[in-house]
Amino acid sequence: MERKLLWVISSIVILILWFKIEPQDTQQADSKIGSSEQAQTKAKIAEKEPVQSSRESSITQEEKEYFQGHPIDGSKPDFAAITDVQERKAAFFDYLLPFVTEKNELLLKDRSRIQAILDNPEPPSREEKTWIGALRSLHKLRKLGVYTHEDIAVLLRYVDIIPASLVLAQAANESAWGTSRFALEGNNYFGQWCFTNGCGLIPNARGEDQDHEVRKFSDARESVFAYIDNLNSNSAYKELRSIRSQLRKDGENITGLALVHGLENYSQRGQDYIDEIESLIDYNELWRFNVHTDEATYNNE
C-alpha cells in the first residue's frame, strides 16, 4: 500500500516538473528558431541589397533627354580593318575625343552654375534647389530639406572634368582599341557593368556565382558619358576626386597622369593596371589632347 502511494506521489511530482520544464524548453526552441529565421531573413535581404560595383554604370534621365535633343551619327570606324597601327590609333582618338570634350564642357557649365549659386548672397531659388537636389542624387549624396553653403560647395568635388588623356587611355585599354566584342556589339569602351537581366552582354569568362553583364549602349557617346559619371560619383574613386580637388585648390592642371593614381579599384590588377594606363598616356603622348576652353583646367601633362 505504502509502495503504491509512493509510486502515485512520484508520478504526480514528475508530471508537475514536466509541465514546468516543457514550456521553458519549447520557448527556448522557439526563440532559437526565431533567431535562425531572422538571421536567414537578414541574409536574404543582404543578398538582395544592391552593392555598387566599381564598374557599374547608368544613364540619367537628364542625359537621356540630352541625347534625344542632341542626336549624333551612330556610325563608327571599323578599327580592325585599319592595318596601320598609327592610323588605327589616330582614328580611335579622333572618334572618341569629341564625346570627351562634349561631356567635359557640360561639366564645366554645371560647375559655373554651382559657383554662381554660391556667389549669390540670396538663397537658391526653387528651380536651383531642384537642380541641386538632382545633382546630389546623381552623386549619391543624401537628400536634404535645406541646403547650406557647404552642402552646395561639396558638389564642386564631384562635378568636374576627366582629362581626355585618361579617358582615351582607358578606352584603348578596355576595348582593345575599339576591336573588343563589347565595343563592337555594345558600344562599351570601358568595360562598364550592369546588373539587370538582359541589360548587356554576358562575359564569356563570367563566374557561376556572378550575375553582372557588360552594359550595352546606343552609341559611343553614351559609353563615354556613363564612364565619366561613374568616376565622378562612385565611392570606389574617392581618391581620384580627392587628387583632382587638391589640384584645383593648388591652381594646378588636372591631368591624366595625376588622376590615374585614383584608379586602384577600377581593375582587380590594382597597381599593375595603373602602371599600364600611365604607360599608355606616356607612350602615345595623350596629354596633347588635354586642350580645353577652360584654360585654368588643364592644358598639357
Q: What is the pLDDT along the chain (301 residues), one digit of tens a residue?
A: 444 444 445 555 444 444 433 333 333 333 332 333 333 333 333 333 334 578 776 677 788 888 888 999 989 999 999 999 999 999 999 999 999 999 999 999 999 999 999 999 999 999 999 999 999 988 989 888 888 999 999 999 999 999 999 999 999 999 999 999 999 999 999 999 787 776 767 776 766 666 688 889 999 999 999 999 999 999 999 999 999 999 999 999 999 999 999 999 999 899 999 999 999 999 999 999 996 534 444 344 4
Q: Rounded to whole angstroms, how far apart are CA atoms 73 and 76?
A: 8
Q: What is the pLDDT of residue 209?
A: 64
Q: Rounded to whole angstroms, how far apart are CA atoms 240 and 274?
A: 12
Q: Rounded to whole angstroms, how far apart are CA atoms 166 and 290?
A: 9
Domain ranges of the chain: 1-49, 61-289
The one-letter amino acid code at 292 reads H
Sequence-ordered list of residues with C-beta below 8 angstroms from that of 261, at least 6 positions apart, any chain: 239, 240, 243, 274
Please give the CATH topology (third level) of the domain spanning 61-289.
Lysozyme (1.10.530)
Is the whole model's pTM more than 0.85, yes or no? no
Please identify which residue in the block is written with the cell numbers 552594359: 215
Q: What is the pLDDT of residue 200?
A: 62
